[in-house]
Structures are given as C-alpha cells and as structure tokens.
Amino acid sequence: MPQVFHRSFNTISRVSIVGGAAVVMVLGYVLYVVGWSPYVTRQDLALVQPIPFSHQHHVADLGIDCRYCHTSVETSAYAGVPPTKTCMNCHQEIWFGSPTLEPVRASYRSGESISWKRVHNLPHFVYFNHSIHVNKGIGCESCHGRVDQMPFTYQAKPMLMKWCLDCHRDTKPNLRPLDEVVMMGWEPPSEKSRLGDELHTKYKIRTTEELTSCSTCHR
C-alpha cells in the first residue's frame, strides 16, 4: 500500500501533542497565578473611603481596643461597623472643627449612616462567624493583619477557600489566650507547639474532619 502521509508528519504529530500539553500546562499555571493574585483576591488593596480613617492612629497611637468600635465581635457573626455616635463620643471634643470630619458630623446630625466601603467582602455563599473564632482563641491579627500599622485599611490576607482550609486543618499555630485575642503583634512563648496543644484542648475545638466539612462554611 502506498504511503499516504509524508514521514515528516510523524514529527509534526509528536510536536503537536507535546506542544498542546505544554499550552494546557501553561494556561493552568496562568489561571492559578491569576486566581491568587490581588486582581482576584483584592489583597493589599486599600479602598478610598468617604473619610480617611486610620487604624494605625486609633489602635497604635491612641490604644483603642478593637471591641470599642466592633462591639459585637464576641457575640455575633458580624463584628459590626460602629455607628456615627461611637465616633462622636471622641470627636465632639477632639478635632470637632476639622473639615475632614465634617462627613462624620453631618452623619450625626442627619442620622444617615456613613457609606463606608467594605474591605473584607466574602461571597454570600460563605458563612463566617466572628464570635466563634474570637472565642476559640483566633486573634484579629490572624485574619486582618497588623491593622495597627495601616494608615489606610486593606485586606491583608487572600481570604480564599484554601487559605481558610489551611487553618482549619491545623488550628494550633493560630491559637492564643483569650485575653490576647485583640493584641497586635502578640508573640507566643517559646513552647509554641505545647501552648497550641493546651489551648486546642481547653477551647474544645472540633476535629479536623468537622472543621473541613463543606457544611461548616457553606450552609
């Protein structure tokens, strides 16, 4: 039987197969990189707020406790955005004439909430409860980063499912005493692994199988 295709087609077919596989691998890698990039996760992105609020000034300079503004963080799924009255508790005496704070005063006079832009915005299909994490010894810093060093608040962590699961698979490194939960820059003692084991038992944290169950976060 006469040869239908030239011998060079053998080489072309091999190159096509290898090239096609390489293209698929490169595309997969690109998708992975893009999926973890700030373009998707919004990590390290500081939003322009209606009022230039500085966590660094309020937390580090003034020493205000997180719970003064985020009052429901220990008892509710939501940490809570402070009402304008909370701001005015101080600013009716401090910087009360500042033009920068006029939107705060206007909000207080009118009763209309300040339109803060949400920095940490989880999808609606994700269930997250602040109080559970705080009362189990997960510090604010573990998820929100060093807000005491943020003149403008930004999302410090990727907030992707893999990031959450990494912690749920091994919670011990992130556990701290309850009186240190809101402390920024807290350093564990030298026996870090021992402390993690003790707190894991003390807080009665569920098993890895339970914490990584789909229904834990998707309800």
Q: What is the DSSP string of 84-126?
A: HHHHHHHHTTSSTT-GGGHHHHHHHHH-PPP-PPPSS---TT-
Residue the block writes with tokens 């890895």? 208
| Position with higher pLDDT, 7 vs 76 | 76
What pLDDT, on the 0 to 100 scale, is given for residue 190? 81
Are 158 and 34 within 8 A, CB to CB? no
Burial (CB < 10 A; 0-12, 13-18, 19+), residue 5, is: exposed
Nearest-angstrom CA–CA distance, 113 and 82? 10
Model-wide pTM > 0.75: yes
**Selection from 122, 155, 153, 120 nearest residue 48 by Cα:** 153
Please report, for residues 103, 175, 192, 204, 216, the alpha-carbon distance to residue 208 in angstroms, rounded to integers and kept in the order given.
47, 15, 20, 12, 11
Burial (CB < 10 A; 0-12, 13-18, 19+), residue 175, is: buried
Per-residue confidence band for 9, with pLDDT thresholds at 50, 70 and 90: low
Are 38 and 45 within 8 A, CB to CB? yes
What percentage of the chain has pLDDT greater than the value 70? 96
Q: What is the per-residue pLDDT across 178-212, written as a single tens digit (0 to 9) for each? A: 999 999 999 988 877 899 999 999 999 999 999 99
Q: What is the per-residue pLDDT across 75-131, written as a single tens digit (0 to 9) for each? A: 999 999 999 999 999 999 999 889 999 999 999 999 999 999 999 999 999 999 999
Burial (CB < 10 A; 0-12, 13-18, 19+), residue 33, is: exposed
Residue 26 has pLDDT above 90, yes or no: no
What pLDDT, on the 0 to 100 scale, is given for residue 5? 61
Q: What is the per-residue pLDDT across 152-163, written as a single tens digit (0 to 9) for each? A: 999 999 999 999
Please report, for residues 11, 72, 81, the alpha-carbon distance to residue 111 in angstroms, rounded to integers and kept in the order given.
75, 21, 15
Nearest-angstrom CA–CA distance, 199 and 136? 9
